Structure 1
Amino acid sequence: MPQETEIYALIDSRLLRRYDLSLARVGRFLEEAKIPIAQYRDKEASDADVARALEELRIYYSGTLIVNDRLGLAGLADGLHLGQEDLAAIDPDSEAAVSKVRRQIGSKLLGLSTHNREEIETANALDLDYIGLGAYRSTATKADAGVSGKALLELARLSRHPVALIGGVRWEDRFEAPIRYKVLGSALMERIANL
């Protein structure tokens, strides 16, 4: 029986610009809607700009805040989410890379993007708190993401970690364990913009 999965808000700087949304407006919405977890992602800004954005979000949002790819800024957040390339840049050996990250972030949440069986199986041996898995449907934010649709739901069952399903996920979607989070990016920003 499908369960109500938790919403994992993806606050992407490009989406903020596309929908002309401020961090204050988004943060207030997340707080009022009691969204339990949110990730801030900005692939283009400097560390200083991302740090300022995290600090601004903290003014309005008291939930779990994750920073994307910026290990040096994990101290300003409750956790860190890394992509496969970012993990490999820390160390080509994924276990060694996660050990290095854990030494820096301690018990903060650590998530890793996965896309296929091999990456999930590798992630199963790592000290992670969750995996991101996608793309479920096509999405405007990552045009190059491979879409796996229903096959992704079967892959999710291979994970020993809770799964955050990403890529074209909709508000009304419901999933079974181990999918714990439905990651909403465009759908979330569109809803906020239309309020």
Structure 2
Amino acid sequence: MRLYALCDADILRERGSDLLSFAGRAKTLGAEVLQYRNKFADIAIVKADLITLRKVWEGFLIINDHYELASFCDGVHIGQEDLYAIDSDPVRAIKILKMAIGEDKIIGLSTHNAQEITTANSLDINYIGLGAYRATSTKSDAKVLGEKLDELAALSNHPVAAIGGVKLDDRFQHVTYNVIGSGLIPNENAK
């Protein structure tokens, strides 16, 4: 299984860890993608963190939501609400997003059910995030898909990243990446 590391700034702070330690541990585990998520910091801090990560991360670097910072990384991951905030027509929303970030950037979209996957199949994106596989503390309102996740993943025309409570040893038939979050990657340097 391929690994996609989700680096959440708030969880790192709670665990007494930092960006560089997380990126190093993700690299040691063989992660190919690192998504940086910082929901509450000032945009200047998020930008500075992306610049720091870019210096040490050789794989794909994705920013969560902040598509205005896509020039500092390889792409952007957006949620359903973010997609429809751009435009009520998802096809137009992705076209607008591509105009804003550039045609060469990666776009990932969170999905949670068959209907959202069907819509995503018609979009010019690079992958979908699908979940939640298990309950997580970061998304308390997430609907848990459990074993149904792999069945839903089979409906996707795009590579699938399993999200939400995924563990290193989880295996799926139709999933390209296991997304392992900041709270699940053991950090030997955490306090």
TM-score, scaled to structure 2: 0.94
**Contact 2:17–2:189 (CA under 8 A) maintained in structure 1:** no
Match of 2:7 in 1: 11
CA distance in 2, matches of 1:169, 1:176: 14
Match of 1:45 in 2: 41
**Structure 1 residue 193 displacement after superposition:** 4.2
Asked if 1:101 corresponds to 2:97, the answer is: yes
CA distance in 1, matches of 2:26, 2:167: 16
Asked if 1:192 corresponds to 2:168, the answer is: no
**Structure 1 residue 194 displacement after superposition:** 6.3
Q: What percent identity do the matched residue pairs reach?
A: 47
Match of 2:16 in 1: 20
**Contact 1:31–1:60 (CA under 8 A) maintained in structure 2:** no
Opposite residue 111 of structure 1, the aligned amino acid is G
**Contact 2:61–2:75 (CA under 8 A) maintained in structure 1:** yes
Asked if 1:83 corresponds to 2:90, the answer is: no
CA distance in 1, matches of 2:54, 2:28: 14
Q: 2:50 aligns with which of 42, 47, 54?
A: 54
**Structure 1 residue 34 displacement after superposition:** 3.4
Give a deviation string over 1:32-83, Cα, whole Å, max 9, x none. Answer: 4432101000111121111011111122211110000011001101010000
Q: Which runs of 5+ in 1 are unaligned?
A: none
What is the CA RMSD across the aligned residues, in angstroms? 1.3
**Contact 2:132–2:164 (CA under 8 A) maintained in structure 1:** yes
Q: How many residues align?
A: 188
After the TM superposition, which residues 58-69 of structure 1 pair with which residues of structure 2 at under 5 Å, given as runs?
58-69=54-65
Q: Which runs of 5+ in 2 are unaligned?
A: none
Question: Runs of at least 4 residues of structure 1 off by over 4 A?
Answer: none
CA distance in 2, matches of 1:54, 1:20: 19
